[in-house]
């Protein structure tokens, strides 16, 4: 092989190696997410349903205030309060003490626990849930709003009447997909033997620059 041909071949091989390394390194670089910079005016439309999918959004979140202490907005036009990590504190129908589905920064293998008391404002009931949570994977997920690169976060625990999260409580699992590009949870699936499967999926969103 002549010198010029040998040089060209080496150049092609080097380029291929660089491209391959870039492909391999890309997902790894993305496998950590800091707390998003949520902004006033950010809006997400969701489909929330039990077992049977629906065709149109029935839940709209709009951010109205962002401070170091927390985030305020509206859920279908009524007050919504979030932690800085985007966990719901209070919605029009629920009030949570510590339902920590998200804990930034997110990275594969990170884990935490929570003990949450839920008040059902619409019915007057209450439950207690204790769970362990793990960031399990960084993967693609498809929802009505499109396909996203997202962190899959797995929660597993027990829930029941306050004080009954041990004996007699029901087991549950909750899988959450958080997409950095949407600044939001794009899908969430709760499963328990009482209600069955409850699903939240992102239908559309509009983020402020």
- Residue-wise pLDDT for 163-200, tens only, equals 544 556 899 999 999 999 999 999 999 999 988 999 99
Distance CA 93, CA 126 (A): 12
Distance CA 186, CA 51 (A): 17
Task: Give φ, ψ of 78 to 5 degrees.
Answer: -110, 160
Q: Residues 78, 92: contact at Cβ < 8 Å?
A: yes
Confidence of residue 2 (pLDDT cuts 50, 70, 90): very low
133-160 tens-digit pLDDT: 999 999 999 999 999 999 999 999 999 8
42-90 tens-digit pLDDT: 999 999 999 999 999 999 999 999 999 999 999 999 999 999 999 999 9
Q: Assign residue 129 a region (left: φ > 0; alpha: ψ between -120 and 50; beta: otherwise).
A: beta
The residue among 161, 162, 180, 160 whose CA lies nearest residue 172 is: 160
Distance CA 20, CA 58 (A): 43
Q: CA torsion, points 188, 128, 72, 36, in degrees to nearest 10?
A: -50
Residues with Cβ within 8 Å of residue 167, at least 6 apart in sequence: none
The residue among 159, 162, 137 whose CA lies nearest residue 150 is: 137
């Amino acid at each position: 092989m002549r010198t010029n041909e040998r040089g060209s071949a080496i150049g092609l091989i080097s380029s291929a190696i660089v491209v391959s390394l870039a492909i391999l390194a890309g997902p790894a670089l993305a496998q950590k997410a800091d707390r998003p910079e949520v902004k006033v005016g950010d809006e997400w439309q969701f489909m929330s349903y039990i077992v049977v999918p629906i065709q149109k959004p029935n839940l709209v979140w709009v951010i109205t205030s962002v401070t170091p202490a927390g985030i305020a907005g509206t859920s279908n036009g009524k007050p919504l309060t979030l932690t800085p990590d985007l966990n719901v504190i209070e919605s029009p129908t629920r009030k949570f003490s510590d339902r920590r589905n998200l804990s930034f920064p997110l990275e594969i293998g990170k884990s935490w626990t929570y003990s949450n008391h839920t008040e059902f404002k619409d019915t007057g009931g209450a439950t207690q849930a204790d769970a362990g949570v793990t960031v399990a994977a960084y993967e693609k997920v498809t929802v009505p709003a499109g396909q996203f690169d997202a962190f899959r976060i797995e929660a597993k625990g027990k829930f029941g009447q306050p004080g009954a999260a041990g004996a007699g409580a029901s087991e549950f699992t909750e899988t959450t997909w958080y997409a950095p590009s949407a600044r939001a949870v794009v899908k969430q699936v709760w499963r328990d033997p009482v209600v069955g499967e409850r699903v939240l999926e992102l239908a559309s969103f509009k983020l402020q620059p």
